[in-house]
Amino acid sequence: MSELKKKPLELSCPTCKKTIEWSDQFPHRPFCSARCKQIDFGDWANETNSIPGEPVLDPELLEEAESIRH
């Protein structure tokens, strides 16, 4: 029996959309490069990207804390 070589999974870089393989050839996967990885990190750090959800803090407590601070 001959072994079938599986083709590596192909995916698009989340930043630039370049097609890459999920392999050791792309150590920054799922990004195509360190640059694209850093761009994505910057978007999360600047809150350009976010995950929707309910606020963690109670809005009333936030207002109270703000009024005490001022």
Domain count, the chain: 1
Residue 31 placed within a domain: yes
Q: Report yes or no on whether pTM surpasses 0.85.
A: no
> What six digits make up the tokens of 7?
């083709």
Residue 44 placed within a domain: yes
* pLDDT (0 to 100) of residue 2: 53
Is omega for the bond preceding 27 within 30 degrees of 0, making it cis?
Answer: no
Residue 45 placed within a domain: yes
Residue 39 placed within a domain: yes
Residue 36 placed within a domain: yes
CATH classification of the domain holding 40: 3.30.50.10
Residue 15, classified by CB atoms within 10 Å of its CB into exposed (0-12), middle (13-18) or buried (19+), is: middle
Per residue in 13-52, pLDDT (tens digit) is: 999 999 999 999 999 999 999 999 999 999 999 999 999 9
Residue 70 placed within a domain: no
Domain range for 37: 9-50
Residue 1 clears pLDDT 70, i.e. is over it: no
